[in-house]
Amino acid sequence: MDFDAPIYTLQNARLRFGDRPLFTGLDLYLNKGRKYCLVGRNGSGKSTLLKVVAGEIVPDDGESFLQPGTVVSYMAQDDDLARFATLRDAVLSGLGEHQGDLSYKADILIEQLEIKAGADPKTASGGERKKAALARALINDPDILLLDEPTNHLDIATIEKLEERLSKFTGALIVISHDRAFLKHVCDGIVWLDRGIARTLDKGYDAFEDWRDAVYEQEDAERRRLNKKIEAETQWLHKGVTARRKRNQGRLHRLFDLRSERRDQIKKTGSVDFNIDSGAVQSKLIIDAKGLSKSFGDRVIVSDFSLRVMQGNKIGIVGANGVGKTTLIKLLTGRIAPDAGRVRLSKTMQEVYFDQNRAVLDQTKSLKQTLCPDGGDTVFVRGEPKSVYSYLKEFLFSPAQADTPVSVLSGGEKNRLILARDLAKPSNFLVLDEPTNDLDMDTLDLLQDALESYKGTILIVSHDRDFLDNTATSLLYMAGDGKVVEYVDSCSDLMRKLKEKEQKAAEAAKKTQEKTAKPVVKKEPAAPRMSYKDKRQLEMLPDEIAALENEIKTLEEKLARPDFYAADPAGFEKTAAGLERAKAALDEKETRWLELEMLAQESGK
């Protein structure tokens, strides 16, 4: 594949937001066929850079060039689809003025991504809206595809489908994502945005951490040679997360030990009488659920499920979107009552619930006021006093940002502040519903460190395979049929086993079908001859074919009307079905005409 000719160039770009310089002399070159991951801390300008490439933001200075005829498609982190009547309309909008001619592309993507085409974007789930936004970006076969956090709200099965599709994409791709597993499977190049400079490496994401460390080490060596004095704040910003850049092997060993301990707990279930009423120290059993069942109408969420959650367990919950993961959390924490069965909770439980919708922050308050609502410079972290400036540093904020209003933070920085606030609350039980959405890699490492050192119990809902691999001691897998099974495996291992199980089932079904298929008995071909009926049919078929061609043309013109579906959905579906029947009839008659024409030639009549 040819990577030599850039289809987009950005040179010496400069951009400021108020007094804050975002880019200073930034250069970027995009080559067709290269799939880049765009990495950098929250607030470094990743989303802004995508908007510059998409043409939505013009830099204060610099030159850009887009090869003529190049199609650019951009999916924002939170695409607003509320103006569309249905998700299908949202997907179709990606075609622009060619909606009528190429609408079949929307139906193909809707089927592949399993989008609920008729759903209202205002009430559709985050996962459905994200899939529609992805289809909208893909539908026009772009030369440059820009994706900002495409895996947010998607389940693992859909993420894997997206990985497969992007691996076949032949244009230039830039993707922002916190999902390490996704980046490793999709990207073969890295654009690292750091302090206003874009550095590029033509290697996959696996090479990023070593490359970043080498750059920082080189900078440190140059500073030492020049004997320049570095301000403490700047030094921390450059080196503050050195300890967590490389995967902490000690942490992983402890995680393996905890998984082994969880296996033993599952084996011993029922053999020990735990006292859940004795107080914080003696209360080893946090949740005791027996025979839980929950349905909504005909839809079974959980059926006869039992679980004992012990102090220190860190349990991940995985499954496709819509299977009821959040409902299971609410059952296990007593927020909703089961239809059958019972849940007993430790009376000493102090819960902190990190909701996937995120609690609202007061935009007018500063970071310090958010963490210290009663004033002062001290924040109480799980009951222990700590300097708010020191605590902010732990969450990758500089001391100078303490008096900054929340309103100027990026979306990822706001999520980091929510984590700082919620993790400071006194607790021995954390519930984390999609905690990784919109976080950068450094913050993910920070969160993993915090969860590793957390002495309490954790329930985690996440579709981030790498994050679960590094935090969860066991997994609850929800298949969607009401069964919930606990696995003491990493998420990656579990997904591999489930795939292998599906493949074996498919192979077994194929073999069974082959065994039961009736053998085909071959007959000697009869001498060719044409009956009177065949001759008559051969004469009539051309007129019938012409009539069907006219009917198909009329139906296609009717379906191409832009307001047809919105005005009459039932009529649209009826017309579409009629078009399919007409096409099938045309195919059948054309095939029959060819057969009769050949028979006429062979029989000499």
Asked if residue 404 belongs to a domain, the reply is yes
Q: Are residues 447 and 409 in the same domain?
A: no
Asked if residue 505 belongs to a domain, the reply is no
| Residue that is last in its domain, among 425, 456, 480 | 425
- Amino acid occupying residue 540: M
Q: Are residues 450 and 413 in the same domain?
A: no
Residues 6+ apart with CB under 8 A from 233: 398, 399, 400
Q: What is the dihedral of CA 19, 22, 26, 31, to 10 degrees?
A: -150
Question: Residues 338, 293: contact at Cβ < 8 Å?
Answer: yes
312 HSE (CA, 13 A, CB side): 15
Asked if residue 345 belongs to a domain, the reply is yes
Mean pLDDT throughout 340-368? 85
Q: Give the model's pLDDT for residue 85.
A: 93
Q: Is the dihedral of CA 91, 95, 101, 102 positive or negative?
A: negative
Give the domain extent around 466: 279-350+427-488
Q: Are residues 49 and 112 in the same domain?
A: yes
208-226 helix and 232-239 helix, angle to the nearest 10 degrees: 150
Q: Give the model's pLDDT for residue 586.
A: 84
pLDDT at residue 125 is higher than 80: yes
Span 536-556, pLDDT tens digits? 888 888 888 888 888 888 888
pLDDT at residue 497 is higher than 90: no
Distance (Å, whole) CA 385 – CA 80: 42
Distance (Å, whole) CA 42 – CA 25: 20
Which comes out higher in pLDDT, residue 230 or 125?
Answer: 125
Q: Give the model's pLDDT for residue 358.
A: 60
Q: Are residues 394 and 299 in the same domain?
A: no
Q: What is the CATH number of the domain that holds 587?
A: 1.10.287.380
Distance (Å, whole) CA 393 – CA 451: 17
Q: Are residues 444 and 552 in the same domain?
A: no
**Cα–Cα–Cα angle for 468, 474, 478, rounded to 5 degrees:** 85
Asked if residue 566 belongs to a domain, the reply is yes
Q: Give the model's pLDDT for residue 131.
A: 93
Q: Give the model's pLDDT for residue 279.
A: 33
pLDDT at residue 72 is higher than 90: yes
Distance (Å, whole) CA 199 – CA 449: 28
Q: Torsions phi, psi of 386, nearest 5?
A: -150, 145
| Residue that is last in its domain, among 239, 266, 287 | 239
- Amino acid occupying residue 248: N
| Residue that is last in its domain, among 436, 463, 488 | 488
Q: To the nearest 5 percent, what fractions of the chain are helix, strand and coil?
A: 45, 20, 35
Mean pLDDT throughout 350-356? 82
Q: What is the CATH number of the domain that holds 313?
A: 3.40.50.300
Q: Are residues 384 and 472 in the same domain?
A: no
Span 224-239, pLDDT tens digits? 665 544 444 445 444 4
Question: Residues 193, 46: contact at Cβ < 8 Å?
Answer: yes
Pick the most confident of 30-39, 270-279, 283-292, 436-445.
30-39
Q: Is 347 exposed, middle or buried (0-12, 13-18, 19+ CB in 10 A)?
A: exposed
Q: Are residues 293 and 190 in the same domain?
A: no
**pTM for this entry:** 0.64
Tell me the average pLDDT of the chain. 82
Question: Residues 338, 304: contact at Cβ < 8 Å?
Answer: no
119 HSE (CA, 13 A, CB side): 20
Q: Give the model's pLDDT for residue 408.
A: 86
Q: Are residues 367 and 441 in the same domain?
A: no
What would the two tokens of residue 485 be?
């099974």
Q: Are residues 479 and 421 in the same domain?
A: no
Name the domain count of the chain.
4
Asked if residue 44 belongs to a domain, the reply is yes
- Amino acid occupying residue 488: V
Q: Are residues 358 and 346 in the same domain?
A: no
Mean pLDDT throughout 87-106? 83
Other Cβ atoms closer than 10 A to 148: 23
Distance (Å, whole) CA 460 – CA 326: 10
Asked if residue 336 belongs to a domain, the reply is yes
Mean pLDDT throughout 186-192? 92
Asked if residue 270 belongs to a domain, the reply is no
Q: Are residues 109 and 52 in the same domain?
A: yes
Q: Are residues 297 and 161 in the same domain?
A: no
Asked if residue 360 belongs to a domain, the reply is yes
Q: Is the dihedral of CA 398, 440, 313, 242 positive or negative?
A: negative
